[in-house]
Amino acid sequence: GRTKVVVIGAGPAGLTVANLLHRAGIDCLVLERETREFIEQRARAGFIEEWAVRELERHGLADGLLRRAPTQGSFEFRVDGVRHQFDYAELTGHRHFVYPQQELVKDLLTGYPGPIQFSVEDIRLHDLATSPSVTYAGQRVDCDFVAGCDGARGICQSYVPATITRHDYGIGWLALLAEAPPSARSVVFGIHPLGFAGHMARTPSVTRYYLQCSPGDTADDWPDDRVWTQLRTRLAVPGEPIIDGPLIEKRVLPMHNYVLDRMSAGRLHLAGEAAHLVAPIAAKGMNLAIHDALLLTRGIAAWYDGDPSTLDGYSAACLGRVWQYQEFSLWLSDLFHGSRDPFTHQLIQARLRRLLNSRKAAESFAEIYIGQHADF
């Protein structure tokens, strides 16, 4: 067969690309390794930056988000039993939309009327320099472009002769989903000598928590009792109890990042985690995936209109924001995970005082925490 663009991977990046191409009248085919049921249940991100929502809205892809996602414009640091509220909506005029990733995936699947195949194994790419094709399960599809959106464990990355730079934080986060209402009105970042703890709403009945742990830990090292005791200790403030409930997800994420120095090879262009991973410390990964998807479709549409230059600049345009978000995640990581001895605990306190008492410091932090609006 033949299509214009083969999109590999039906995560936020791939499904955004597919929807935008379809709306631009450019045929595409989506190939996904997992089943539809699986990807519709896969819970990961929850915080979407307002610029990304507005871009999805502009393309008619945000109906579900706008109808169902509550917004949040502040968070709270908890240190030494004290709450410090940080109101970034007041500083920037922008808010996060709280929407479980699998709900966005479902909306994007529903919104996409084009061809998509699930449970596709053994995808291979050929002739990427000139006339690409994709083979799988005895089939062959010729195309003009391949959009490599198959995430951190996909195959597309290996076709790009890029240099990968990596950073390992040397810590783990125990990622938890509790069947329990949120314990606070906003995101909570708990900074504690025992390690970081985080609280993030997902839905009225499901809440995400994180606990810093050793990167080699497994879920078995964290029986439910230990989880709730640690959450209560690290997030403790008077008068705000942690509401527990059955833990429906418990897994250790090793905290690490990587970035490819180029995202394209001939007619193959990577988008999202296929090209760069940022640990979920600052909730940036899905936002970057959407950003790449917007830029990639704009470049492909311009190419069909006779202008190849936008696509030529695709990598550089994406990587600018990627590195801003990497730098921010590292800065935030120092704040969250630095409280290990009395000296660094004091450094963290100094950093927090500057953030909480200087309007200029707060504005600069808030601008990148909520993400900049960009002209697409």
- The footprint of ligand FAD (CB under 6 A) covers 8-14, 31-34, 39, 44-47, 101, 120, 123, 149-151, 153-155, 175, 253, 272-273, 280, 283-287, 289
CB distance 190 to 234 below 8 Å: yes
According to DSSP, the residues that pair with 209 across neighbouring strands are: 176, 199
Q: Which is nearer to ligand FAD, 134 or 301 (CB)?
A: 134
Least Å distance, CB 9 to ligand FAD, is: 3
Cα 209 from Cα 206, distance rounded (Å): 10
Minimum CB–partner distance for residue 226 and ligand FAD (Å): 19
Q: Name the E strands within 11-126.
A: 28-31, 47-49, 71-72, 74-79, 82-87, 96-98, 116-117, 124-126
Shortest separation between residue 278's beta carbon and ligand FAD, angstroms: 7
In sequence order, what are the residues at sequence separation of 6 or more whose Cβ sits closer than 8 angstroms to the Cβ of residue 224?
247
Burial of 44 (0-12, 13-18, 19+ CB in 10 A): middle
Distance CA 180, CA 224 (A): 14
SS3 25: coil
Give the span between the Cα atoms of 324 and 220, in whole angstroms: 36
**Please, what is the minimum distance in Å from the beta carbon of residue 170 to ligand FAD?**
18
The nearest distance, CB 44 to ligand FAD, in angstroms, is 3
> How many other C-beta atoms can be found within 10 angstroms of the C-beta atom of residue 92?
19
Q: Which is nearer to ligand FAD, 12 or 111 (CB)?
A: 12
> Cα separations (Å) of 242 from 46, 61, 182, 234, 245?
20, 35, 8, 11, 10
- Nearest distance, CB of residue 333 and ligand FAD, angstroms: 15
